[in-house]
Structure 1
Amino acid sequence: MTKKDDVLILGSGIAALQLASLLNKHLNVRIITKEKLRTANSYLAQGGIAAAIGEHDHPVKHIADTLEAGSYHNNRETVEKIIKAAPDLIKFISEQGAVFDKNQDGELLLGMEGAHSEKRIVHGGGDATGKNVVEFLLSTLKDNVTIEENIFAYQLLLNSEKRCIGVKAKAADGTIKKYYSRNTIIATGGCGQLFTYTSNALTVSGDGIAMAYLAGAEVADMEFIQFHPTLLYVNGKTKGLISEAVRGEGAILVTEDGIPIMEGVHPLKDLGPRHVVSQKIYEYLKNGHKVFLDISNIENFTKRFPSITTICEENGIQLSEGRIPVAPGSHFLMGGIKTDLFGRTSINGLFAIGEAACTGLHGANRLASNSLLEGLYMGKKLSTYLNQSTTDVVFETEPTSGYPFVDKVVLPPVQQIKDSMMERVGIVRNEVNLKKQKAWLDTFKSCQLNDLGTYSAEEITTIFMLIISRLITEAALERTESRGGHYRSDYPMEDNQQWLRKTITHKNSWGMETNHEHIETALAT
């Protein structure tokens, strides 16, 4: 008899671990992760978690800030529910242990970040919030949770009813494995590695979103990519994130001559919305200037930001000089697999949470420190659903017909994908470059029509990168306005009449409708 799990979770970030930690002990839960358990974006997160818990704060203010940052493309109901739940989510974790930073009176320390109207950012370990929360969640996992590392899931398994019943994956030695489950959860993160410069972990290349898309799930808002303004920039390469909290503590962006670059650009200056700050830095860099974060007025910088200090020292930056060289890079995907607030997708049995999902919380641009909040909320919400679920699942006999469909395709170098996406579909976009990128991506249309199992894990990742690149490019080409993380120099203004409430969705636009006739299903028990 083939073993089946009650819950199969792909990914090991905060959303995944929050879910696993809250599932009932009678459920058999399995977590599989592409590489090591602690290589997720969540573990690297320097920023904190936003919650309206300050004396002068209120969820209404947090909601207003979220909507404004999202250029009012957000799903308001989603925003209200998640933001209102934030204080209790923070309180629950805070009461379990020393996860978050507190003052001498035992009160949570609250920081300020860009586009927030109040100090409401809770941090852990200064700039090690993600690590602190992940370690806490790992410590709460029960013995019904099994974790397998270095397992690369690459294909969803569907039965004849088009219900997801598991995944096909590759082990580190190339062996193909099948995992069957009554409920499959994609929590694989976004797609930051599609771009030359990024703050994301090396594993974050859109795998889960591509898998869901190929299986027929609806994907939405892929044009909205948030570029973080301040990545450490050394010798033409980005070396890590310089948290927005540094600007929240008073650092300002300057040129090599010490000229502040955000003066007169936005009322919030250096703490303006991320797309505004990123575009301004990008503009200076394109014109041959260098841009630095001037940290000279921040007291005890090395104690306040130990992780950033380590990154800088490892890359030869002398913090005593008071300047950190920076450049913008891809940071967060507002779009993803379209879900409701339980994480349910358009495919029965398939769920998505965390950055891989598009709930509508972030709109066109994520408000700083709302992402870990969303992960905690969605993990908890989905746990309540699965703890009560009693759905019967049909596991069917594997069909004899199927792959391969076409010959293997010669794939481009990964660096070529990253560089072309950064140049043509990056911070500043226009019709000419978008059409050029689309035409190039079209030459690889047939690559996903193979049996992906005949490719190596690295090649499958490349195929997924091409698929996600095309989804982003097509959406960016279609949205003829600028909004949030999507900036078009040929359409520089928001068009509220045509685009405010319009969501661009994708579903099998690469001709994969026939794939359901051939996709493998689980062996009969």
Structure 2
Amino acid sequence: MTVIKADVVIIGSGLASLMVADILSVTKNVIIITKSNVTDSNSLLAQGGIAAAISGDDDWRDHFFDTIRAGCYHNDETMTEFLVRQGPSVIDSLIEKGIDFDRCKDKSYALGKEGAHGRRRILHSGGDATGKELVMKLLARVKENTTIIEHEYAIDLLIQNGTCIGVYTKNSEQSKSTYIAPFIILATGGIGQLYEVTSNSEQATGDGIAMAFRAGAAIADMEFVQFHPTMLVKSSKGIGLVSEAVRGEGARIVTEKGDFLMAGKHPLEDLAPRDVVARAINEHLCKNGLLYLDISNIEHFTKRFPSIAAICEKANIDLHDNRIPIAPGAHFMMGGVVTNEKGETSIPGLYAVGEVARTGVHGANRLASNSLLECVVFATEIANEILQKQQFSSIFVPVMEEEGTRKIGHLPSELEIKEVMTKCVGIVRTRQSLKEALSWFTTYRFAMLHWKNINITIEQQKICNMITVGYLITLAAWERTESRGGHYRTDHPHSLERKWKHKTIYFSGASEKPYVSAKCIEKLSV
């Protein structure tokens, strides 16, 4: 087995990863490990933009309250204030790094408006290619000083005396390596691929959350999964995302008869918070009625939204009809590995940033275009924290145990996991559906353990991670018997703002039994 040492090892290659590497690689030996191509991430797919209170009629307090309201008052207010106050300075730093944001003819920023925002404060690049602009510009900078290892799959975190000191990996040829560093950073993205329809990259299978959980890190808010209301669909299959910015520019959700779906359902109608719009669309679709995004109010649509126009063209959607067929799809995980403002997890030496992290800034429902902001703000904080810390001088490097001949038991297919999550733990949940899902997941509890002396392939590893994360989402949804934000239960559909009875639901793999959830299931007789 190969042992590689570095100052910093980052797992994942999205915007958060590249931002950390850009700051640290000038003085540190930084290695980025990614299980696919370096550009294959949710960040690259981000169409919407990045939110910041930079206009003269805007203020961080307005951005703060919009974020809190969208998050259904489940947000960590201290962390949320920190996030939005950093917005303007973050934009300045990105411009210094060469990022070009769209401007009006008078050279002012072309600010967009999206759901639940009270002001126009969304900066875009390339119309609807903001994520691509950020990723490609930062990647060009990072490549100069950073080692990037592609097609290397992180298997498990290496914990020594309660501290994270490295990560075990395998490549496509099943060759194993151990990466050792005083700072290990999870930047592995989200969990969208656990559902049948998703806006996420194919790599978003929750690997970082599963690894952190097995290592004993605190995990929270797993029940809060955001479904984007407007995925382009054809023949019931998700083709690509139609950004909320399209509705911000005047598009309306309409029925086949041309009726406005959101009229009378919320004061903000089509720009209501995502959970509200997604549930309204889901309810209509369940009655077998098709829905569309009417773009007739948007002039020069293909110029304003070139990426979306290209997706429609590829799917043979004629934009001259001014209607794009839509349905909700899994989009963003508000929960994840618990961190503080410096990106530190409950395990010393282990950091998390981006969608894999639960910073608390999104509450129960993320405000549109706050995700890229979160990536950049907390990536900067992690980098600055690491620059101030001293590295340890020497550590004992254990060797990963050799795999034996014993094989892992029968595992479900990826498709089966998607079907269970979509049917039972989707946009709308019931006590019975959650009970059914928990029962199904517990039959695969063996897949959630550490695999010592077990011969396991990379594909099996992915399935095990998906089972672990699906189980945590399901259990958290079972435990939270109210409805809030991205978590909606038909048996408890109504809750008043600020009066929810539940606090944050935490899990940790470092319990006296392999899983806290196993005890919960026994107690609830599921």
- Place the TM-score, normalised by the shorter chain, in its bin: over 0.9
After superposing the two structures, state which structure 1 stretch, 388-397 or 2-11, moved more: 388-397
1:376 equivalent in alignment to 2:383: no
After superposing the two structures, state which structure 1 stretch, 21-30 or 400-409, moved more: 400-409
Hey, what does 1:335 align to over in structure 2?
335
- Map of 1:166-245 to 2, 5 A cutoff? 166-245=166-245
1:324–1:401 Cα change, 3 Å: closer
CA distance in 2, matches of 1:100, 1:20: 22
Q: Which amino acid aligns with 1:259?
A: D
3-state SS in 1 of match to 2:489: coil
TM-score normalised by L of structure 1:
0.94
Report if aligned partners of 2:447, 2:467 keep a CA contact under 8 Å in 1: no
Give how far 1:137 is off: 1.0
After superposing the two structures, state which structure 1 stretch, 397-406 or 315-324, moved more: 397-406
3-state SS in 2 of match to 1:57: coil
3-state SS in 2 of match to 1:94: helix
CA distance in 2, matches of 1:506, 1:235: 38
Give how far 1:104 is off: 2.3
Q: Which amino acid aligns with 1:74?
A: N
Could you give the per-residue CA deviations for residues 433-467 of structure 1, whole angstroms, max 9, x where no partner exists? Answer: 00000000000001233338722111110110000
CA distance in 1, matches of 2:228, 2:259: 21
3-state SS in 1 of match to 2:372: helix
CA distance in 2, matches of 1:132, 1:452: 44
Give how far 1:9 is off: 0.2
Hey, what does 2:427 align to over in structure 1?
427
Give how far 1:35 is off: 0.1
Give how far 1:25 is off: 2.2
1:431–1:404 Cα change, 3 Å: farther
Q: Which amino acid aligns with 1:115?
A: A
Q: Which amino acid aligns with 1:282?
A: N
Hey, what does 2:146 align to over in structure 1?
145
Q: Which amino acid aligns with 1:341?
A: E
Hey, what does 2:60 align to over in structure 1?
59
Hey, what does 2:271 align to over in structure 1?
271
CA distance in 2, matches of 1:393, 1:189: 31
CA distance in 2, matches of 1:66, 1:305: 25
Report if aligned partners of 1:72, 1:500 keep a CA contact under 8 Å in 2: no
CA distance in 1, matches of 2:99, 2:177: 39
Report if aligned partners of 1:29, 1:145 keep a CA contact under 8 Å in 2: yes
Q: Which amino acid aligns with 2:226?
A: Q
After superposing the two structures, state which structure 1 stretch, 136-145 or 504-513, moved more: 504-513
CA distance in 1, matches of 2:397, 2:491: 53
1:57–1:14 Cα change, 3 Å: same
Report if aligned partners of 1:291, 1:327 keep a CA contact under 8 Å in 2: yes
Structure 1 residue runs of 5 or longer lacking an equivalent are 515-525
- Map of 1:84-95 to 2, 5 A cutoff? 84-95=85-96
Hey, what does 2:261 align to over in structure 1?
261
Q: Which amino acid aligns with 1:480?
A: T
Give how far 1:3 is off: 3.6
CA distance in 2, matches of 1:403, 1:339: 33
**Matched-pair identity in %:** 47
Hey, what does 2:443 align to over in structure 1?
443
CA distance in 2, matches of 1:147, 1:325: 39
TM-score normalised by L of structure 2:
0.94
- Map of 1:154-173 to 2, 5 A cutoff? 154-159=155-160, 161-173=161-173
1:256–1:447 Cα change, 3 Å: same
1:497–1:68 Cα change, 3 Å: closer
CA distance in 1, matches of 2:280, 2:499: 27
Could you give the per-residue CA deviations for residues 380-412 of structure 1, whole angstroms, max 9, x where no partner exists? Answer: 000101111104165225379897798511111
- Map of 1:69-84 to 2, 5 A cutoff? 69-84=70-85
Hey, what does 2:325 align to over in structure 1?
325
Report if aligned partners of 1:223, 1:476 keep a CA contact under 8 Å in 2: yes
1:401–1:462 Cα change, 3 Å: closer
Report if aligned partners of 2:402, 2:453 keep a CA contact under 8 Å in 1: no
Report if aligned partners of 2:403, 2:455 keep a CA contact under 8 Å in 1: no
Report if aligned partners of 1:406, 1:446 keep a CA contact under 8 Å in 2: no
Could you give the per-residue CA deviations for residues 307-361 of structure 1, whole angstroms, max 9, x where no partner exists? Answer: 0000010011000000000000100000000000111001111000000000100
Compute the RMSD of aligned alpha carbons: 2.0
1:493–1:32 Cα change, 3 Å: same
Hey, what does 1:286 align to over in structure 2?
286
CA distance in 1, matches of 2:210, 2:445: 14
1:92–1:340 Cα change, 3 Å: same
After superposing the two structures, state which structure 1 stretch, 87-96 or 220-229, moved more: 87-96
CA distance in 1, matches of 2:100, 2:158: 38
1:405–1:175 Cα change, 3 Å: closer
Report if aligned partners of 1:8, 1:185 keep a CA contact under 8 Å in 2: yes
Hey, what does 1:522 align to over in structure 2?
none
Report if aligned partners of 1:253, 1:260 keep a CA contact under 8 Å in 2: yes
Hey, what does 2:365 align to over in structure 1?
365
CA distance in 1, matches of 2:263, 2:76: 32
3-state SS in 2 of match to 1:66: helix
3-state SS in 2 of match to 1:310: helix
Structure 2 residue runs of 5 or longer lacking an equivalent are 517-526
3-state SS in 2 of match to 1:455: coil
After superposing the two structures, state which structure 1 stretch, 133-142 or 233-242, moved more: 133-142
Q: Which amino acid aligns with 2:83?
A: I
- Map of 1:81-160 to 2, 5 A cutoff? 81-141=82-142, 143-159=144-160
After superposing the two structures, state which structure 1 stretch, 266-275 or 399-408, moved more: 399-408
CA distance in 2, matches of 1:496, 1:455: 47
Report if aligned partners of 2:232, 2:327 keep a CA contact under 8 Å in 1: yes
Report if aligned partners of 2:193, 2:418 keep a CA contact under 8 Å in 1: yes
Could you give the per-residue CA deviations for residues 476-500 of structure 1, whole angstroms, max 9, x where no partner exists? Answer: 0010111010000110022668746
1:502 equivalent in alignment to 2:503: yes
Q: Which amino acid aligns with 1:32?
A: I
Report if aligned partners of 1:405, 1:451 keep a CA contact under 8 Å in 2: no
1:404–1:488 Cα change, 3 Å: farther
Aligned residues: 513
